[in-house]
Every structure is written in structure tokens, then in C-alpha cells.
Structure 1
């Protein structure tokens, strides 16, 4: 079974990014990219420190109850009463949209996502049920209790541009990286080879409450219990590995950089079926879309 394979491809980076921690716990990955861990998930801030109102972008929106933490971190980094030019979403799972409805209204900010993710953000569809039988950890076992949505930010919601650009993030492109969800995207900046990967791959074993608490950097596939199309998930990891990134920040786990990170990502891609796909998982045997005769649409 995948969860029993030794962590050979899950190598630690030779050195984590030289993060500078602010007083509020925000970590700076590079001059204009920072992230903050909020419980079990990361939110990412794009923009230079002190950028000011409407001069920065929030990537994902954390778990429920974190609106105040996100706004305070934003003001600490960008200035008092600073609002984003946009909120861009990797996907719409509960731990990435927890503050989205409240914070988009408060900031009056447009929300961008892939068109295939739109139903889970406009109130019209819920995600497929999780698979608590995979991964062998407490987080997996508890997954039936997690909200499946949908949230409704239709007032602010827009599709990401068809040309691959990312609104208000010059030099970045969005890449469709499905598998974990149908409309999952990652963000890529070629100039310094930086990836904001969402949950296409992650750097902690998210199925384990202990691993989530300890946060030792390890390369892993997407969270098993919520991934509903494993063939697509494999292709997405292969795509991101082929970019030869220098640094990555993911939805779960610490940021990683360097040669060992890149090697671990290549090993994950090469050994994906053995180390990431759960043996016997219901979505490993048959993707969610096939189980419902098409795209999953359960209000």
C-alpha cells in the first residue's frame, strides 16, 4: 500500500528557504512572496512589503474563522487597511475557502478561479464525499466531518483568463493541475522558477495529525482522502516536476527549495502510483466523475 512505502522519495530539502518570520508568523519566501500557516493550511501573499491598498494579491483563504488572522497579516505586510487587488484560488476545498465569503465581501475584492472550479464557489455544487479509508491517519478518518461546500462568492467570482495570465500578478501564469479537484490550478513564475502549488502536491503527510502538527518538510502527493481523479493528479505532478522549480510553497507543509527538493519532486512524479496513490481507495479504482456519469454536481 502507498502509505507503507518508505519515505525515500519524500526527501527533506537540504535547507528550507531562508524564511524571515514576521511578528505575526508570516514567512517570507522571497521578496514578493510570503505565506502563513493557519491551522492545517497555508495562505499565500503576493506583493512587496508596504505595497499598499490594492497593490497585492491573496492566494487562497484558509479555514473557517481565520478572517481576522488573514487581514491582520495583510496589514502587517502591506500597510494599514490594505485590501488586495484580487483573491486567486487554487481550488475550493473547505480549508482553502474558510474565510472567502466574509473576506471578499469585507475587501470588495474579485475572486478568480478556474471555470471547472466555479460550481464549488458559486453555491451550485458540493464536492464528492471524501474517502476516509485511505492514508491511515486521523485526518483521513475525520474527513467525513469536513464541510464539502459549496460556498457562494458568485458576486465577486470571475474565471481566470484564458491566456494563462494571473490578474494583478505580472510574470506569473496559472497552470491547470487537476486531480485533487477538477479545476485545481497552480501558479508558476518562470523568472525565478517559483511554484505556488496548492494541493497538486504538498510538503507534509496531510493524512496524519502528527505530521500536520510537526510540519517536517517531506514531499507528498495531494491529500489522499480528498483526491478524486488519480490519473489526472499524476499528470499534474509530472507537469510541475518538468518545470524544474527552484522553490515551492504548497497548501500544506513548509516551503521547500533547492536541489534535493527538486529531486524529491521528480521521484514523486516517477513513483507516483507506488507512493501517492492509495491501494484500494474508491477513487483510485474509479474517479468521482465516472461514479456520477460526468462532472460531480451535488447541491
Structure 2
């Protein structure tokens, strides 16, 4: 939903007779998401749960609207929940002036989303709410409590912004709609070193489907090798970023 660099994916994930919504796009997308859900699942349908990969406004922007409409809580990883009120500590991992300024803006947007009353932490050890056949993979870096979701039976990975299938770090790439494994946008990533470790963690899953927060999903036997290759490349360049000021 959205255009170009602002385009964000949401996912309707079926589990037996119910379904779960993962991410809610930006603000004022609630009606569009509800309409899509009713087209897929029938009139008046509502999910068993709403999950967020992280609390950036481009992914949590319509969470309050949908939670209120459907009468549901919104779940995030425990490490992400405190950020509803505290925001992101941009100075904790200084990685350049642009990163610090963007992180401060993200913190302000997150606090202004009014999510404190509806966002709850779930325990990953107890499984994923509404999705008993999925597991939560902690993927901090883009945000402190970023979470990805993986179904081992068919190796489907919903990676949020931990791994993308469009390169948002190149100004020209989003408009080309070219599929490629890429890391999270540097300008809004809290800790690039943790982000690199999370990419490596996801590569070990060897997914066959890579459905990210931005970009067209990638499907096929070539996904796992592409993700592994990108992980190795990312780990090789990551130490150089430690010198950024």
C-alpha cells in the first residue's frame, strides 16, 4: 500500500479456519485493509490477531484504527513494546547524522500513534498469537524488537524490514520494481550491526518464500542462496560502518 518508497506490504495469513493480519501499513489505511480482508475471507470477517513486525509508522500506522474497529489487541515482540512510549534512542547506536535525525523523527511518530492502550507484548516461547504453525524469529537491528515470522512446513518467511526484496538504499531502485534481496533502509535502522546479525539468522532458515515489508515477494529455490549470499556480503561490509560518526 502506498507508492514508491512509501509502499508497505501487509499480509493476510490463513491458519485453519481463521486468519491473522501482519502489519497495518501507514495511517488511514484501515478501510482499505478491511475491504481487502472481506474480499478474501468474506463480509464481516475479522482476524484472530493483529501482529506487527515493528512499530515504525509505515507498518503500525493503521493499527489503532483496526484494533478499535475489530475490538482486538495488537501484538509485538517484548523488546519492541517499550518503544510505544520511549521511542528509539538514536544516540545509543550513533551511525551517522542522517540516521540520528531519522531515528528521532521515527521516535516522535511512534509516540504519536497512540498505541499504548492496544499494543501488547507476546511471549515468543509460547508461539505466535493466532498462528500455531508459525514461529517468531527475533530480528533486532532495524528496531530493537523487530520480529520476523517463519513457517517451517513450506519455508515461508515474513521478514518485515529485517530483509527486503527491493533496495531502498538506492534512490532509483524502488521505482524500478526490481526484485532483489536487500537490507533494511540505512536511514531508519537503529543498529546496523545487529541488523547484519539478524540477516544472517534469517539466511540460516533457508526460506523458499521471502515476503518482506517492502518489495514484491520472492518465491523459488533461488531465494535461499540469494539470501545467504547477501548475508555474507552484509557481514563483510558491516564492520566498516562502526567508524561512522
Structure 2 residue runs without a partner (length 5+): none
Determine if contact 2:141/2:192 at 8 Å carries over to the other structure: yes
Normalising by structure 1, we get a TM-score of 0.71
Larger proportion of helix: 2
Residue of structure 2 equivalent to 1:198? 160
Residue of structure 1 equivalent to 2:75? 112
**CA offset digits 1:146-175 (Å, max 9, x no partner):** 663223323332212241510111210101
Give the paired residue count: 235
Residue of structure 2 equivalent to 1:126? 87
Residue of structure 1 equivalent to 2:189? 227
Instruction: Give the whole-Å Cα distance in 2 for the aligned partners of 1:174 and 1:90.
Output: 10
Choose which of 32, 35, 53 in structure 2 pairs with 1:69.
Answer: 32
Normalising by structure 2, we get a TM-score of 0.85
Task: Report the Cα offset of residue 132 of structure 1.
Answer: 7.0
Residue of structure 1 equivalent to 2:14? 47
Say which structure, 1 or 2, has more relative contact order (CA 8 Å, 6+ apart): 1
Task: Report the Cα offset of residue 81 of structure 1.
Answer: 1.5
Structure 1 segment 244-259 matched on structure 2, within 5 A: 244-259=206-221
Instruction: Give the whole-Å Cα distance in 2 for the aligned partners of 1:273 and 1:81.
Output: 46
Determine if contact 1:164/1:175 at 8 Å carries over to the other structure: no
Equivalent residue of 1:244, what SS? coil
Structure 1 residue runs without a partner (length 5+): 1-36, 135-140, 288-299
Determine if contact 2:124/2:136 at 8 Å carries over to the other structure: no
Determine if contact 2:15/2:131 at 8 Å carries over to the other structure: no
Instruction: Give the whole-Å Cα distance in 2 for the aligned partners of 1:119 and 1:95.
Output: 18
Residue of structure 1 equivalent to 2:204? 242
Instruction: Give the whole-Å Cα distance in 1 for the aligned partners of 2:118 and 2:98.
Output: 36
Task: Report the Cα offset of residue 128 of structure 1.
Answer: 4.5
RMSD: 2.7
**CA offset digits 1:114-136 (Å, max 9, x no partner):** 11111233xx12234596758xx
Instruction: Give the whole-Å Cα distance in 2 for the aligned partners of 1:71 and 1:286.
Output: 43
Choose which of 127, 130, 133 in structure 2 pairs with 1:171.
Answer: 133
Instruction: Give the whole-Å Cα distance in 2 for the aligned partners of 1:168 and 1:98.
Output: 21
Task: Report the Cα offset of residue 246 of structure 1.
Answer: 0.9
**CA offset digits 1:26-82 (Å, max 9, x no partner):** xxxxxxxxxxx4431100111179x5xxx2110011012211111111111111121
Q: 1:57 to 1:243 in 2, by over 3 A?
A: same
Residue of structure 1 equivalent to 2:115? 153
**CA offset digits 1:98-127 (Å, max 9, x no partner):** 111111111111211111111233xx1223
